[in-house]
Structure formats: C-alpha cells, structure tokens
Amino acid sequence: MRNRVRPLVLSLAAALALALAACGQDAGSPGTAAPPPAMTDCDEFGVQMSLTPAGEVGDRTYLALGLVNCGQAPLVLDSMPQVGVFGGNVVAPRDANVPESVTLAPGQGAFTTLSWTQATREGDTVEVDRILVNALPVVAGYELDLPEPVTLDYDHVLDLGSWQVAAPGAEPAPEETPSETEEPDEEACPPEGFRIGFSEDVNAAMGIRAVGITMLNCGEEPIEVNGYPVVEIPGVELEVREGSDTLQDPGATPITVEPGEEVSAGMSWRNLVEGGESVDATSVDIGYSPESPLQTATPPWTIDLGTTRDIEVTAWR
C-alpha cells in the first residue's frame, strides 16, 4: 500500500511565495487566492508530482515542480527531471555538472524550479497549456496543467533546476506527562531581553535564499524599534544592505514592542560563487538596532553566501 501524502505543496509554496513577495513583484493581490497547484495521484512507481505557480521576478515566470516518494521503498532519481511541452521546439536543458542522483526515503519530497522569459518574437510562437515531466529514470509522462496558457517562442529555452531534497519529517517525540507538582519548563529569556528566531522555510531555488527573522520581546520592558536588523557573521566581512531588490521592504517605521510581542523582518542573499573562498556560516549575530546588543542565533540551515558576502535586510514590521 502506498502513502497518500501531499507534502511540499504548502511548504514549497510558502518558501517560493516568500521569494516572490520578496521580489517586490507580483505575488498576488491581498485577499486574492493564489492558483492551486496541479497534482497527480500516487502511482505504481511511488511518485506523486505537483506543479505550484511561483509568480514572476522581472520578466521571468517561475513554477515549482514538486515530487514526493509516496511508496514504501527508497526512490532513486536522476538529479534533474526531464521537462518538455506539447508543440514547437521548446527545450529545458539538463545540467550535466550536477550530482548524478538523489535518493528519497518513503514520504520524503524534493522540488525544483522551472522558469522562462517572455516570448520575444511575433508569429513564430507556440501556446503552452501544460508541461510533460519525467522523473527519470521513471518515464511515466506526468502531465501537469499550467494555471493559464503561456506563449513561448517556437524554440524557447526554459531554465530548469536540479532536485532539491527536503529534509525527512522527524518522528514526534513521546509526550511526557508532568507530575502534579511539576511546572512546565519555559525557555529562559536571554539576558538581552529579546529572542531572535527564524522562519522554518528557506527558499533554495534560483540561487536566491530568502528567510524571515523574528524578534520576540521576552523581557519585562518595552523595546523601541525603528529601522532594520543588524546582521553580522563572526569572522566574515559582510556587506549588509538596508532595503532589498529581492524582498518587499515596508521601510523604517517606529514600533513599540511590548513584552510578549514580536516583530519580524526579512533577510536574503544569493548563493553565488565567482572565485575565492565560499562562506557557509552556521550561526549569525543579530541585533534589533545599531544600539542594541547582538545575539548569536543558530538557524536550522546553513547561510551559504558563496563568495558574494552580500546580505539584504528589510525593516522590522
């Protein structure tokens, strides 16, 4: 029996929506529901495919392809899917430089991005309303409908990424029943009077990383913020930009954060290697203002700056 699971769709949409909201581009108007993902049923190969609209960045349109191992045995896949369309000579080249394969445990998922620019020629075009995906070595011809037809040049070249494997779900820890006299433990507030946290999702697509930063006032006094987080990585000379070309920035706003309240900001960077030593940081020092103390926080993922050493932040809100 196969698991009828639907992972990745929400977490993937959240991650890519962050990159989109992020981009100051069209991620949907407030109150407007995003187009639902197209999804296949779990098949005899233990594969369930999905396609999630991910919006536009500049003149480029993005889709997210998701795959879940809904079977009972590990699933070994080529590191990139095979993607085609019906009509024309549209291609999505596969990069021969990526690792040869990825392995998904039962219930585990992977995702990648498919993107294209607008058609540039009149007349010599093809209208595409669905894409054809093979999760090699499985050749099953999964047809996934696009949210709306798109017009591509007859020989358009699509940009296809490699599979990014999602972490397998952790087994829930057994619950402990406290004794009648035992008080539930509460995480102690750091001496700075605030606690830095991160959103669970990180957008790993397109070489762009985009995450949320949170600052909880766990102290006893109000905290005044009016601007941007301060971000440092010990031992690394960073270029931190206030404002973003990638994330939607509300701009500096005076906010009084009362005890127990929380504010959030955004942080983005590009994993770009142009020569030199790459930066892969496992901790980061963050303050809520230039005058505040810095707090060392450990995100659940690596801050892989490549060789750029550039970070963008948005204002607290």
Q: pLDDT tens digits for 181-232? A: 444 446 789 999 999 988 755 554 445 677 788 999 999 999 999 999 999 9
The domain segmentation of the chain, as residue ranges, is 9-165, 194-313
The domain at 194-313 falls in which architecture?
A: Sandwich (2.60)
Instruction: Please determine whether the domains at 9-165 and 194-313 fall in the same fold group of CATH.
Output: yes
Q: Which residues does residue 303 pair with via DSSP β-bridges, in sequence order?
A: 281
Q: Kindly report the number of other CB atoms within 10 A of residue 121's CB atom.
A: 11
Q: Which of 82, 66, 90, 74 is nearest to 135 (CA)?
A: 82
Q: pLDDT tens digits for 244-255? A: 776 778 889 999
Q: Which of 39, 48, 29 is nearest to 138 (CA)?
A: 48
Classified as helix, coil or strand, 13 is helix
Q: Which of 196, 209, 205 is nearest to 159 (CA)?
A: 205
Q: Kindly report the number of other CB atoms within 10 A of residue 78's CB atom.
A: 19
| Residue 195 near residue 282 (C-beta atoms within 8 A) | no
Say which residues have a Cβ less than 8 Å from residue 291's Cβ, sequence separation at least 6.
none
Cα four-point dihedral sign 170, 175, 178, 183: positive
Nearest 10 degrees: Cα torsion 89, 93, 94, 95: 160
| Residue 62 near residue 114 (C-beta atoms within 8 A) | yes
Phi, psi (deg, nearest 5) at residue 13: -60, -40
**pTM exceeds 0.85:** no
Q: Topology of domain 9-165, per CATH?
A: Immunoglobulin-like (2.60.40)
More confident residue, 176 or 232: 232
